[in-house]
Structure formats: C-alpha cells, structure tokens
Amino acid sequence: MMITTIGLITTIEYSPSGEVVIIHVQVSEPLSFTEGQFMLLQTLIDGKLVKRSYSICSTNQDLQDSQIISFSIKRKEFGVFSTWATKVAKPGMQITMTGPLGKFVDKKFSRNYLFISVGSGLSPCLSIYNYLFRTGEYNKIANLFGEQKVAHIPDTVMKAYTKMDDRIYNQICLSREMNTTYPSVMRSGYVQGALDDALAFLDTDDMTVFICGLPAMCDEVRDILLSKGLPRERLVIEKY
C-alpha cells in the first residue's frame, strides 16, 4: 500500500570521495515494500519543494526490524537534490517520502540470479541481493557492479560486494582506475566486459537478470544477453 510519511534522517554513510551517500531514515508509521522498489523523496531546498525518486537499497526486513529505510544517492553535476543529499543533509533533518513504487522486483522465475548495475543503479540490485543473501533463497548469484572509482563506493556496498564463495560471484568494474585492494573481485573496465565470466559462473540459462543503470549500458547488456539466447521475459530492466 502506498503512503506518504515524514521520516527522520538518523545517520548518513559517506563514500571516501563524499560523492555517494547512504542515507538512513527512520519511518514513524507502518510501511512495507518489495525489494527493488523506490520512494519519491521530497524536501525544501532554498525555499523550494524539490522531489526526486530514489530506489531503496535496504531490505523490507531491515525496515520491519528497525523502522529504518535506506537510500543510496550519488551526487550529479547540477543535481539539486543529490547535491543537497551529499553536501547539506544531516542527521535530525526530516524528509517526506511517498511510496513504495516500481516494478523492478523479483518475479521468481528462477533461483539463479544475474545482477548488472552501474552508478546509482546499484540501489535496487543491492536491496534484492541482500534479501537473497539474508534468506538463502537462491542457488547461485552473479553480481556485476560498475563505478568510476573505488572511492565512490560506500563501505556498506564494499562489504556486500566483496563476498565470494561457491554460490556467489562478485565483480566490481572500475571504469576510470585500476585498483587492486580486492584483486579477486575488482577489475578495470566496464560491466559488459565481465559478462562472459559471470555467465560461466552461473553455467545455466535458467536465471533471472536484473539490469539497472544508464540507458546505453542497459540496452547494450540486453542485446548481448538476447544474442546469447536468454529469453526476454527473464530480463528485468530499469533505466535512469
């Protein structure tokens, strides 16, 4: 059920560069969502009401356990809301939220998952990924995340996306630097270049694929996967 509620910012986690934040908001009334959905956030900035949609990066169980809902926000050049979130927002401030909204959710086609996201597109994928990891409701997960630099990655994301075992394959693709902090899960380049390794790890056509990010990336990855024979209905795509 969609509601409008006022939340209280409790904590803000900053990436090393300060260009990306994870804002944790306390919700004062009952709210439930499906991992992958988003909320419309509203706040006054310089006397004007500014509204932007942001995907939830936490899980519904996190919300039910602690009344906290979280959003990952990356500052965009000339972005009014994202600049406020990364430079001005502080714990104790209020923010109005409307939702949940969106259909970027798990249709339960398969217990094998491929996530491909870049930049701000990580939020809904991180939410679903953490839900699966928490519940164990998967056979295998391959996760590709693209970012410009490792300094843009908050610690919460780094911890989630450096897990590796016989059921989870993670690759962080850095487009503007080479970084060997986590050599087993980091590479230079774009997510498209890591697709073959991810597919080899999954070793099956029976999978659900989540793709979220810039339109050009989403379109290129979609076309690559379709050319490899994956059914279109198994691809869940959200562009920003």
Contact 25, 93 (CB under 8 A): no
Q: Is residue 197 in some structural domain? A: yes
User: Does 107 fall in a domain?
Assistant: no
R_g (Cα) of the chain, nearest Å: 17
Query: According to the model, what pLDDT value does residue 1 have?
Result: 82
- Indicate whether 13 pLDDT > 90: yes
Number of domains forming the structure of the chain: 2
Residues 46 and 141 in one domain: no
- pLDDT digits 0-9 by tens, 205-215: 899 999 999 99
Q: What is the pLDDT of residues 102-142, one digit of tens each?
A: 999 998 889 999 999 999 999 999 999 999 999 999 999 99
Pick left, alpha or beta for residue 99 (phi over 0 → left; psi -120 to 50 → alpha; otherwise beta): left
Task: Please write the tens of the pLDDT for every residue from 95-109.
Answer: 999 999 999 999 888
Does pTM top 0.85 for this prediction? yes
Q: Residue 47 — very low, low, confident or very high, per pLDDT cuts 50/70/90?
A: very high
Domain boundary among 101, 129, 162: 101
For residues 179 and 118, give the distance between their C-alpha atoms in angstroms, rounded to a whole number. Answer: 17
Domain that residue 74 falls in: 3-101
For residues 17 and 70, membership in a common domain is answered with yes
Instruction: Judge if 65 and 126 occupy the same domain.
Output: no
